[in-house]
C-alpha cells in the first residue's frame, strides 16, 4: 500500500474544537412511489486495512472565501478543488417549490490509464453488461474507504446531505432533480445520506469498503437498466401505472436499498461484471422547501456556512498494475466524458 497526501487547508486553519457528534444518518424524507416491501435490512461490513490516498477538502466559507488548492509537488489531483458554502453561494437549483444549495469537488482516483493494446486485449463486453467492452478496472480490483467530517459553523443545527455521485471508466453519474408536479420537486439520488449537524459542531463517518462496492454496483446497475429495451419502452409508455425509468434509477441509488437485499426493482439489473470506481463527485447540499418551517436548513433564503473534510483510502487488489504509485508521472484514466442521468432529470 502507498499513499498520496493532498491538503487543501492546513490543520491549523481548521476551526472549532468541540467534540465530534455522531448523530447518524436521518431517514430519507424523499418519497418515490414504489410497491411496498422493497426496503432491505440495514447493511453490515468490516473496515479493511487502511490504504493510501489522502485528500482533504475543506469548505472554510467562514474565512470569506473557499480555500484554494495548494500547487505543491504532493498534489496528485488536477484542476481546482476549492469548495465552500456560505451565504454568498447561489442556489444550484430553484423552481419555487424547492431551492438547493450544493457545493461539490471531484475526486479522481489514481487509476492508471490503459494502453491501446490493453484495451484491445480486454475483449467484448460480457453478456448481460452495458459496457462498450470488457471493463479495464473491476470493482474487485480495489478496496476503497471514504472518511468524512461535516462541520457546521452556524449557531443553529443544520440538516445536511452528503452527496456522492460516482464514476467508472465509462460513465459519470449526474442525478439532477425531478419535477413531480406543480407543487413538488424532488432531488434524484446519487449515494446521498442526510445528517443533522448540531450548532457549532461536527459529524464524522465512514463509507466502508462494502459501501463503496455497493456504489459501484449501483452505478453499473443503473447503467445496465438505462441501456435496456425495458427502460426505453417504459419511457415511451410514460403515463401508465408502471415505474418510470427515473423512479427505477432512484430506487437503485437509494442507499437504503442494497444489492444483496433481493429488491424486486434493483436486483434484476445488477450486471454479472461490475466496473470499478475510477472517481466520484462529493459534496454537501442543504434544501430549502417553500413550505418548510423546520429548524434546519437555510435561514432566510441564504446557504449556511459548512465545511467538509474527506480522506480516501484505496488499496490495490489487482496484482499491482492498476493503481498508480505515488510520485509517478504515469497518465491516469481520467474523468469519463459520458454523463449518465435519469431521463426526467432537470438541472
Reduced to 3 states (helix: H, G, I; strand: E, B; else coil), residue 251 is helix
User: Which among 335, 185, 159 is positioned nearest to 246, based on CA atoms?
Assistant: 185
Question: What confidence score (pLDDT) does residue 241 get?
Answer: 65
- What does pLDDT average to over the chain? 78
pTM over 0.85? The answer is no
Question: What confidence score (pLDDT) does residue 103 get?
Answer: 94
244 close to 234: Cβ distance less than 8 angstroms? yes
Higher pLDDT, 143 or 39: 143
Over the stretch 135-153, which tens digit does the pLDDT of each residue have? 999 999 999 999 999 999 9
User: Which among 41, 346, 347, 343 is positioned nearest to 222, based on CA atoms?
Assistant: 343
Segment 218-231 shows an average pLDDT of 97
Reduced to 3 states (helix: H, G, I; strand: E, B; else coil), residue 79 is coil
Segment 193-201 shows an average pLDDT of 97
CA torsion angle 134 138 139 140 (round to 10): 130
- Among 52-66, 71-85, 230-244, 245-259, which stretch is predicted with the lowest mean pLDDT? 52-66
Question: What confidence score (pLDDT) does residue 237 get?
Answer: 76
Question: What confidence score (pLDDT) does residue 236 get?
Answer: 78
Question: What confidence score (pLDDT) does residue 203 get?
Answer: 95
Segment 338-347 shows an average pLDDT of 96
Question: What confidence score (pLDDT) does residue 38 get?
Answer: 33
Distance, CA of 194 to CA of 164 (rounded, Å): 12
Question: What confidence score (pLDDT) does residue 319 get?
Answer: 85
Q: What angle do CA 53, 55, 59 make, to 5 degrees?
A: 165
Higher pLDDT, 48 or 288: 288
Higher pLDDT, 6 or 26: 26
pLDDT > 50? residue 33? no
Identify the band that residue 248 occupies on the pLDDT scale cut at 50, 70 and 90: very high
Identify the band that residue 288 occupies on the pLDDT scale cut at 50, 70 and 90: confident
Question: What confidence score (pLDDT) does residue 37 get?
Answer: 36
271 close to 52: Cβ distance less than 8 angstroms? no
Residues pairing with 102 in the sheet: 285
Return the number of other C-beta atoms located less than 10 Å from residue 283's C-beta: 22
pLDDT > 80? residue 88? yes
Distance, CA of 67 to CA of 63 (rounded, Å): 8
Percent pLDDT > 90 in the chain is 60
15 close to 67: Cβ distance less than 8 angstroms? no
Amino acid at each position: 500500500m502507498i499513499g498520496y497526501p493532498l491538503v487543501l487547508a492546513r490543520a491549523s486553519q481548521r476551526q472549532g474544537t468541540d467534540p465530534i457528534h455522531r448523530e447518524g444518518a436521518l431517514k430519507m424524507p424523499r418519497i418515490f412511489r414504489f410497491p411496498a416491501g422493497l426496503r432491505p435490512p440495514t447493511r453490515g461490513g468490516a473496515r479493511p486495512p487502511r490504504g493510501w490516498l489522502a485528500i482533504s477538502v475543506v469548505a472554510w466559507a467562514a474565512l470569506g472565501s473557499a480555500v484554494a488548492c495548494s500547487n505543491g509537488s504532493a498534489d496528485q489531483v488536477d484542476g481546482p478543488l476549492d469548495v465552500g458554502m456560505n451565504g454568498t453561494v447561489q442556489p444550484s437549483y430553484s423552481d419555487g417549490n424547492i431551492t438547493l444549495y450544493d457545493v461539490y469537488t471531484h475526486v479522481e482516483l489514481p487509476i492508471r490509464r490503459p494502453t491501446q493494446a490493453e484495451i484491445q486485449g480486454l475483449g467484448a463486453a460480457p453478456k448481460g453488461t452495458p459496457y462498450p467492452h470488457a471493463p479495464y478496472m473491476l470493482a474487485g480490483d480495489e478496496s476503497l474507504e471514504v472518511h468524512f467530517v461535516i462541520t457546521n459553523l452556524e449557531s443553529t443545527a443544520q440538516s445536511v446531505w452528503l452527496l456522492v455521485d460516482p464514476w467508472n471508466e465509462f460513465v459519470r453519474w449526474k442525478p439532477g432533480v425531478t419535477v413531480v408536479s406543480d407543487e413538488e420537486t424532488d432531488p434524484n439520488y446519487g449515494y446521498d445520506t442526510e445528517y443533522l449537524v448540531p450548532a457549532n459542531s461536527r459529524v464524522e463517518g465512514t463509507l466502508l469498503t462494502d459501501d463503496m462496492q455497493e456504489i459501484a454496483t449501483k452505478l453499473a446497475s443503473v447503467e445496465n437498466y438505462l441501456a435496456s429495451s425495458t427502460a426505453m419502452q417504459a419511457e415511451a409508455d410514460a403515463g401508465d401505472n408502471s415505474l418510470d425509468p427515473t423512479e427505477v434509477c432512484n430506487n437503485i441509488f437509494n442507499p437504503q436499498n442494497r444489492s444483496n437485499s433481493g429488491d424486486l426493482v434493483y436486483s434484476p439489473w445488477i450486471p454479472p461484471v461490475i466496473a470499478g470506481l475510477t472517481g466520484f463527485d462529493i459534496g454537501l447540499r442543504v434544501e430549502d422547501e417553500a413550505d418548510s418551517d423546520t429548524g434546519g436548513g437555510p435561514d432566510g433564503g441564504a446557504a449556511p456556512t459548512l465545511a467538509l473534510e474527506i480522506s480516501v483510502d484505496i488499496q490495490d487488489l489487482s496484482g499491482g498494475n492498476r493503481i498508480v504509485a505515488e510520485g509517478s508521472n504515469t497518465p491516469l484514466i481520467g474523468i469519463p466524458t459520458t454523463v449518465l442521468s435519469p431521463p426526467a432529470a432537470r438541472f
